[in-house]
């Protein structure tokens, strides 16, 4: 596998390059001999960064010029993913990209009119070589979105009852995206991505306790009790309601299913929750 790049190496654009998945994807593509162009909505600070704001479309054409492959995702916090991603897909086609991988979310295709599903369909109808990946809930939510209760009160506070989720490590999503972007094996296919096992939040709390040496528990809360905290964290009312709706689907059991897509695409088993908790244990110190 190539580890050096030169001016004739293919260029891969990563939208969300500073995010949880994108930051893991970057080094994987570089290791495969790709020149990586990292998109940011902020002012670029490095030679491989490019300014791209999906909310305004600013920077879209420059970001895609000369690009061979692109990884697309919608920044969290917005409920109109089709509006944000449509122009990026059109620009990818206009610039003649060889392939686009779109990160959606597991369950997005349960409603043909959901904004994420509309974005998926836009890509699938674009004439571009495409992949849609739909990850389940990320393991990394426990060291980001849900971290405050764990750190301050030793509790995971969520309105999800005893339902189980086949959480996926974002590093596996990146590994899948890297494989799909750089090979032709799975052209024009969609994949639901999950971990190997489904766990409830008591089991998650027990694993986090084991990894950290702290006692961490799970407390079920109502959606109504959770909403003010989401608003206080800066979420818009629309996005807070979307998140609570998605959590209600989790509670109803829709996040329990497992797939073999990570194994099939990367050739190795998904990262276990135990390994995730061990690798990130400093986060909950
Ligand atoms: N968390 C989950 O459990 C879960 C499950 C399934 C699917 N997903 C999907 O995963 C995606 C989030 O991925 P992630 O967790 O890797 O991201 P993340 O860590 O939340 O990072 C968000 C990224 O979006 C970029 N960004 C913010 N505003 C932007 C804008 N206006 N234009 C362009 N880029 C912008 C940020 O970069 P800059 O600040 O540099 O611009 C950053 O790289 C969402 O689409 C979500 O639906 C998440």
The predicted-structure confidence for 225-282, as pLDDT tens digits, reads as follows: 999 999 999 999 999 999 999 999 999 999 999 999 999 999 999 999 999 999 999 9
* Any atom of ligand 1 within 6 Å of the Cβ of 155: no
pLDDT at 3: 61
Give 257 Cα–ligand 1 centroid separation in angstroms.
24
Alpha-carbon span 128 to 34, nearest angstrom? 20
Residues in contact with 224: Cβ distance below 8 Å, sequence separation at least 6, in sequence order: none
Do 194 and 106 meet the contact criterion of CB atoms below 8 Å apart?
yes
Write out 172-214 in H/E/C secondary structure: HHHHHHHHHHHCCCCCCEEEEECCCCCECHHHHHHHHHHHHCC
- Using pLDDT thresholds of 50, 70 and 90, give the confidence band for residue 6: confident
Query: What integer pLDDT is reported at residue 7 of this predicted model?
Result: 84
Q: Whose CA is nearest to atom 43 of ligand 1?
A: 16
* pLDDT mean over 128-142: 98
Q: Which of 58, 75, 255 to mutate to test the pocket of ligand 1 (most atoms within 8 A of CB)?
A: 75
- How many helices (H) and strands (E) in the chain? 11, 9
Q: Is the CB of 40 under 6 A from ligand 1?
A: yes
Top mutation candidate among 15, 19, 72 for ligand 1, by most atoms within 8 Å of CB: 19
281 within 8 A of 211, measured Cβ to Cβ: yes
What are the CA-CA distances from residue 60 to residues 17, 39, 252 (Å)? 15, 10, 39
pLDDT in tens, 182-226: 999 999 999 999 999 999 999 999 999 999 999 999 999 999 999
Residue 1 pLDDT > 80, yes or no?
A: no
2: pLDDT strictly greater than 50: no
Mean pLDDT of the chain: 97
Cα 59 to averaged position of ligand 1 atoms, centre (Å): 17
The percent of residues in the chain predicted with pLDDT above 90, rounded, is 97
Residue 61 has pLDDT above 50, yes or no: yes
Q: Residue 46 Cα, ligand 1 centroid: separation in angstroms?
A: 20
pLDDT for position 148: 95
Which residues lie below 8 Å from residue 10, measured CB to CB, with a gap of 6+? 33, 34, 35, 68, 69, 98
Can you list the domains of the chain with their CATH numbers? 11-136+168-196+256-270 (3.40.50.720)
Record the pTM: 0.98
């Amino acid at each position: 596998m190539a580890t050096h790049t030169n001016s004739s190496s293919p260029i891969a654009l990563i939208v969300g390059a500073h995010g949880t998945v994108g930051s893991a994807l970057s080094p994987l593509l570089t290791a495969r001999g790709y020149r990586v162009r990292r998109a940011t909505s902020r002012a670029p600070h490095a030679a491989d960064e490019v300014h791209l704001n999906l909310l305004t479309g600013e920077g879209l054409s420059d970001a895609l010029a000369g690009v061979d492959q692109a990884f697309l995702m919608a920044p969290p916090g917005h409920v109109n993913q089709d509006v944000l991603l449509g122009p990026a897909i059109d620009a990818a086609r206009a610039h003649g990209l060889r392939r686009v991988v779109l990160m959606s979310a597991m369950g997005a295709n349960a409603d043909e009119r959901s904004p994420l599903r509309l974005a998926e369909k836009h890509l699938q109808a674009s004439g571009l070589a495409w992949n849609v990946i739909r990850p389940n809930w990320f393991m990394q939510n426990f060291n980001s979105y849900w971290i405050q209760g764990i750190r301050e009160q030793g509790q995971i506070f969520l309105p999800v009852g005893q339902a189980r989720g086949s959480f996926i490590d974002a590093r596996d999503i990146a590994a899948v995206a890297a494989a799909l972007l750089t090979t032709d094996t799975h052209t024009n296919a969609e994949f639901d991505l999950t971990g190997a096992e489904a766990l409830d939040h008591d089991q998650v709390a027990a694993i986090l306790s084991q990894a950290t040496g702290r006692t961490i528990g799970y407390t079920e809360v109502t959606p109504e009790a959770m909403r003010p905290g989401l608003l206080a964290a800066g979420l818009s009312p629309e996005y807070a309601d979307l998140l609570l709706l998605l959590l209600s689907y989790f509670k109803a059991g829709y996040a329990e299913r497992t797939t073999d897509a990570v194994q099939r695409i990367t050739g190795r088993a998904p990262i276990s929750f135990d390994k995730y908790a061990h690798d990130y244990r400093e986060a909950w110190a």
